[in-house]
Amino acid sequence: MEAQQILEGPNGVRVMLDDTVEPYLYANEFLLASLNSGIAEVSLRTRCLQDDSGPACVVPLMAGTSRYTLLPEVLVVRAAHIVGQRSPLKRTTAAMLDKLEPGWCSDAVPRQGRPEYIVFDLAQKSVTLFPVPAEAAELRLRIWRLPDESEQIEYMDDEPAILLPDPMVLKHWVLHECYLVKDSELYDPERAALHLQQFEERFGPRPTIQALQQWSVSPLGRRMKVVDF
């Protein structure tokens, strides 16, 4: 379904806002940005964009370098392996690795060799390998992610990067954001909350930072599930 149908169709955002005649209260650019925001929220809440082959999944490794910055769309690292190695890397946290390998992150005596552990830092969008790679290699990741830059909706005839049984439900996020614009004559926090509730009834609440970080350690299915539309 094209963005135009969600935003300007018979049951779309502009009709519900009574904002169908130019000059609009809400510019097309604002509505498109809000739609992109809603698509990102769906991806975050449902983990529906799973990837193991895109640009965000391939990380060139350099000898003597332990930390690598990931692309900004990465949400969770679900698995990691180094090309040519049979065993996957063990996903852990810095605190857990402190107990397993005291002094592992010391700059004084960095241990080099074949990496065995990977630590994902959500705040920094980076991964740290231990031991430090002793030679150049390629790290491959399986991730949950947000839409990347190429998947953003820019025009009314673009379509969302995620597949939904009913894409019209995205209008509730757009309406939620519209009603929160304080300098708009339609500013209405109560209506904004109502549309957020309808959005969350379909896609669930936003996960916490702690939950996202934990999902980069815990086995799939142990403490969470991927939301089924």
pLDDT digits (tens, 9 = 90+) for 24-49: 999 999 999 999 999 999 999 999 99
Strands (E), 30-113: 50-51, 58-61, 67-69, 74-82, 90-92, 112-113
One-letter amino acid of 108: A
The per-residue pLDDT for range 116-162, each reduced to its tens digit, is 999 999 999 999 999 999 999 999 999 999 999 999 999 999 999 99
How far is residue 227 from each of residues 47, 127, 159, 199, measured CA to CA in Å? 7, 26, 21, 14
pTM for the complete prediction? 0.89
Sign of CA dihedral 142, 143, 148, 153: positive
| Long-range contacts at 99-107 (CB < 8 A, ≥ 24 apart) | 101/130, 104/130, 105/130
Show me where the domains of the chain are located. Answer: 3-48+149-210, 50-145
Q: Report the C-alpha gap between 18 and 224 in whole angstroms.
A: 40
